[in-house]
A and B are shown apart, each in its own frame.
Chain A
């Protein structure tokens, strides 16, 4: 499989502190990558480097062999739901239409085309997340889970080849979380998915590869956690782990290296 995302010795510094350091890994086309790590470990920084929101302090990031900003039209980005004010006066349909914004030259200033084709694309994107019935509903009248689905539809409306999701199950109730997890399972069939989450139950059931980050990165192109990954993320060994239950839960949804247990069926938390 050719790689669609490549980090080549990438480091990024915020205010003199290294958020990610000497990161090198590749994401294969069609993979479903779970990016795991503790809070403050650099997960969101990694996602932002991937979509071109941040530029590496050193090293380079390639998306489809090019600068992420130049591959913007092939990337669907779902930021954390909290980036949008729920009080903003906009309907679900109009919010999804903004997923067609941007482009090169004057198009970036004029905005997305409106018309029958645009409406069709918006309805198709909303239908793919089962939100087409809410097209004219203001976002303030939607639940957290429904709003998250609309944000995913906004990322899908431009038919991206890669979908990068940053904590899509954060700040939504368990029922909404379960719907989003099921949805991701379906979306991963047609594209590369990179899911950043601190929530193991949300991130790993569908994963075909795992990236663990805590300033540095260990990438495994198989859906298997290794002892070095645990040590990197939480500084613990499984054998003498003070968080035994936690590690047990982690291993239940994602096998540890050296274990021959078959991969678990997706868990819908």
Chain B
């Protein structure tokens, strides 16, 4: 396994999963505590529209798709700010509309045959220097946002109403929150794709939530869990010649199932011993 690290494509793959783990750990913590998984799914699929747009107008794919996804996320945030009960409709529109828009634009792009699967499921071994650079910049921005705006993000995540009464700019923080989700999703696309990113946003943060005592601790623990899944998934994918993105997610799902099983067992034992 270690000899694989001598290959440049493997070094880049390793670096990309580390970056994805940092992005998904930090933003996943915010997604889980704000119960925004569905919205994150909508934003991820809306990103596909950005991919189609990039091919259609001939712009750099990652930058265009990221800007498109952040724009779509801000639009969703504005809609859900005023009518929170219509969140499901807004997300449904983003989800299906984004995908349809992307497919249509790629259909209309003359003479172009795009491997759409690589955007849906990622192609970690094909990550190039340019993409790595874009990912590093995005992760840097995400870390900076989490550090600088930690307190308002915490205040809004804990209790929106109370934050509003205290004068916290809740609408602006909500938009920032949804935009960071879009940025994290698009950062992860080259490595694990639009569909599998949802798992990496939720599973590490959900596991971390079981033990964390603060949002900061939740973010750090979620990053560590994401690193465990990414690195072990990458190793397993290399060893057994499997699709790396899918193995990373499968590792997370199995760990989550084992953790839930252990939690259930401990509860049963405690109940039996107190009965």
Task: Write the residues of chain A forming the contact surface with B, with a CB cutoff of 8 angstroms.
Answer: 48, 51-53, 69, 72-73, 75, 77, 79, 83-85, 87-91, 94-95, 98-99, 101-104, 108-112, 138, 154, 158
B158 adjacent to A108 (CB under 8 Å): no
CB of B154 within 8 A of CB of A98, answer yes
CA distance A51 to B150 in the complex (A): 25
Q: How far is the CB of A134 from chain B (nearest CB, A)?
A: 13
Residues of A within 8 A of B60 (CB): none
B164 and A108: CB pair below 8 A? Answer: no
CA distance A247 to B148 in the complex (A): 56
Please state if B209 and A73 are interface contacts (CB–CB under 8 Å).
Answer: no
Query: Bound state CA distance, A103 and B155, in angstroms?
Result: 13
Give the CA-CA distance A91 to B166 in the complex, in Å: 20
Q: Contact between B158 and A84 (Cβ–Cβ < 8 Å)?
A: yes
Number of interface residues of B (CB under 8 A): 27
Please list the 10 inter-chain residue pairs (A to B) with the smallest Cβ-Cβ separation, ordered nearest first. Answer: A111-B151, A102-B166, A102-B167, A89-B212, A101-B155, A77-B165, A102-B168, A72-B167, A101-B166, A89-B218
Distance from B26 Cβ to chain A, minimum over Cβ atoms (Å): 14
Contacts of B71 in A (CB 8 A): none
Would A53 and B158 count as touching, CB distance under 8 A? no
Query: Can you name 21 A-B residue pairings with CB atoms under 8 Å?
Result: A52-B164, A53-B164, A75-B165, A77-B165, A85-B33, A88-B158, A89-B209, A89-B212, A89-B215, A89-B217, A90-B214, A98-B163, A98-B166, A101-B155, A101-B168, A102-B163, A108-B169, A109-B169, A111-B151, A112-B151, A138-B213
| CB of B97 within 8 Å of the partner chain | no
Instruction: Output the least CB separation between A42 and chain B (Å).
Output: 17
Complex Cα–Cα for A90 and B162 (A):
16
B152 at the interface (CB under 8 A from A): yes
Residues on the B chain within 8 Å of A104, using CB: 167
Closest to A68 in B: B165
Residues of A within 8 A of B162 (CB): 77, 79, 83, 98-99, 154
B165 near A89: Cβ-Cβ < 8 Å:
no
In the assembled complex, which residues on chain B have CB atoms less than 8 Å from the CB atom of A48? 161
B residues 138-175 near A (Cβ < 8 Å) are 149-152, 154-155, 157-159, 161-169
**Shortest Cβ distance from B151 into A: residue:** A111
**Chain B residues, CB < 8 A from A108:** 152, 167-169
Q: Which A-chain residue is minimally distant from B169 (CB atoms)?
A: A108
A75 to B158, CA, bound (A): 19
Task: Decide yes or no: A90 and B165 within 8 Å by CB, A109-B149, A110-B151, A111-B151 being known contacts.
Answer: no
Decide if B159 touches A79 in the complex (CB within 8 Å): yes
Given A53-B164, A98-B162, A104-B167, the answer on whether A91 and B155 have CB atoms closer than 8 Å is: no
**Given known contacts A83-B159, A98-B162, is B169 in contact with A103 (CB within 8 Å)?**
no
Determine the distance from Cα of A103 to Cα of B167 in the docked complex, in whole angstroms: 6
- How many Å from the CB of A26 to the closest CB on chain B? 21
Check B213–A91 contact: CB distance below 8 A.
yes
CB distance from A58 to the nearest CB of B (A): 20
